[in-house]
Amino acid sequence: MKKKLLDIKKNFDYENAYMLSAPVERIGKLVSRFELFNKIKAIPGEIIECGVFKGSSLSQFVKLRALYGHSSSKKIIAFDTFGKFPEKCSSDDKKYLKNFTSEAGNQSIEKNKLLKIFKELGVDKNLELIKGNILKTLPQFIKSNKHIKISLLHIDVDTYEPTKICLDILYPHVVKNGVVILDDYGAFPGANKAIDEFFSNKPNVIKSLPYSSYISYVIK
């Protein structure tokens, strides 16, 4: 018999277990995402996440959107393999990814399972999950959505080439005062290099919040 991913009816138990066991840094990530989401609540534009992994940050954005009443006005589009990490990357990235996946695993949540959870919670509307290697799916997406406007761009793809393509393709579509969350800045050498190269000739300042050493951001 196929095991259920989650029993939504046990959410109270899950919440208690998480709050009791989560280290301060994990709570800091929640607070940071909330504060950054709060900056774009009145700014027109869609929300795009590059790199879903287990669905934690996407789940937070979907629920914050619902809390603010923006489920119909702000579409959320998320890109991921919804499977195993792509194997092709630099030797430096491979070393860091090996350490990361040994702790967190190398398998993202399945697309259908994530959609099922969101549907059970009633937060699945105006949401698009795009499965595949982002090096292929992102150029295809933007070709069909040339005029998309983005208020929040969350980049969490760990390695150099995916980070570079996300910035190259999507940053021009981020609206004025829109927010770009750089989840990997400082954690992965490939992502660091791509981010530093991209912003080296731009006036934008890469900032951080006091609650989390893992999340940096840029206001366009």
What pLDDT score does 97 carry?
A: 62
The verdict on residue 152 lying in a domain is yes
Residue 143 sits in which domain range?
Answer: 42-107+134-219
The verdict on residue 26 lying in a domain is no
The verdict on residue 117 lying in a domain is no
Q: Which long-range contacts (CB under 8 A, 24 or more apart) does 43-46 make?
A: 43/151, 43/175, 43/177, 43/178, 44/73, 44/149, 44/151, 44/175, 45/74, 45/149, 45/150, 45/151, 45/152, 45/174, 45/175, 45/178, 46/74, 46/75, 46/76, 46/77, 46/148, 46/149, 46/150, 46/151
The verdict on residue 52 lying in a domain is yes
The verdict on residue 180 lying in a domain is yes
What pLDDT score does 94 carry?
A: 63
Spans of the chain below 50 pLDDT: 1
The verdict on residue 129 lying in a domain is no
How many independent structural domains does the chain possess?
Answer: 1
What pLDDT score does 91 carry?
A: 60
CATH assignment of the domain containing 143:
3.40.50.150
Tell me which residue of 73, 82, 77, 79 sits closest to 48, measured CA to CA.
77
Tell me which residue of 153, 157, 183, 156 sits closest to 32, measured CA to CA.
183
What pLDDT score does 102 carry?
A: 52
What pLDDT score does 90 carry?
A: 60
**DSSP, res 70:** -
| Distance of alpha carbon 99 from alpha carbon 115, whole angstroms | 29
The verdict on residue 36 lying in a domain is no
Provide the whole-model pTM.
0.90
The verdict on residue 59 lying in a domain is yes
What pLDDT score does 112 carry?
A: 95
